[in-house]
Amino acid sequence: MIARRFLLATVAALALVPLAEAAQDKVEIVEPWARASLSGRNSAAYMTIHNHGTEKDELIAASSPVARVVELHTHIMDGGVMRMRPVNAIEVNVGEPAVLRPGGLHVMLIDLTRDLKAGEKIPLTLRFRNAGERTIEVPVLAPGATGHGHGHGHGHRH
Ligand SMILES: [Cu+2]
């Protein structure tokens, strides 16, 4: 009886190993893009963030070598005018992706260190409260772009 109990405990412990590894990759960033900026001093980056973990997470900061200041922003209606407003964090709930897109939540790239040209990729580091840091390569799209969806996807359809 004792031997059997020991065996069950061992099997249970082994089963936990893959779960622990999966938890490290619970945040998935899909279809990131940034708006090209050839003359302006600012730009913005957009993406969809999935949380495959079991607990709510939050995007709390971002940084990039192409911008001296990077903030998390949203848009609000203020007297009939759309205005951008910094937010402290962007919630990334389990099973409910955070969608950053023009006119809504975005990563604001302020005081660019150089032009952002369509076709290039810029590095962007995202810091999550639980998942830690992720550095991604963000494709730069033309100034009038509204996002992916013209055969530009990477097979991520949730
Ligand atoms: Cu903004």
Residue 2 placed within a domain: no
The predicted pLDDT at position 60 comes to 98
The predicted pLDDT at position 145 comes to 79
CA of 47 to the centre of ligand 1 (A): 14
CA of 84 to the centre of ligand 1 (A): 5
- Ligand 1 (single-atom ion) residues, CB below 5 Å: 73, 84, 108
3-state secondary structure of 19: helix
CATH number of residue 66's parent domain: 2.60.40.1890
Question: Based on the structure, what is the number of domains in the chain?
Answer: 1
CA of 45 to the centre of ligand 1 (A): 9
The predicted pLDDT at position 13 comes to 55
Q: How far is CA 157 from CA 31, 137, 149, in A?
A: 10, 19, 11
CA of 101 to the centre of ligand 1 (A): 11
Q: Compute the distance between CA of residue 141 and CA of residue 101 in angstroms, rounded to an integer.
A: 13
Q: From first to last of the 158 residues of the chain, give the pLDDT tens digit.
A: 555 565 555 555 555 555 544 445 789 999 999 999 988 799 999 999 999 999 999 999 999 999 999 999 999 999 999 999 999 999 999 999 999 999 999 999 999 999 999 999 999 999 999 999 999 999 999 977 787 754 444 444 44
Residue 51 placed within a domain: yes
CA of 11 to the centre of ligand 1 (A): 51
Q: Compute the distance between CA of residue 106 and CA of residue 43 in angstroms, rounded to an integer.
A: 10
pTM of the model: 0.78
Residue 111 placed within a domain: yes
Is the CA virtual torsion 22, 133, 117, 97 positive or negative? positive
For residue 53, give its domain range. 26-141
C-alpha radius of gyration, the chain, whole number: 20
Q: Compute the distance between CA of residue 116 and CA of residue 139 in angstroms, rounded to an integer.
A: 10
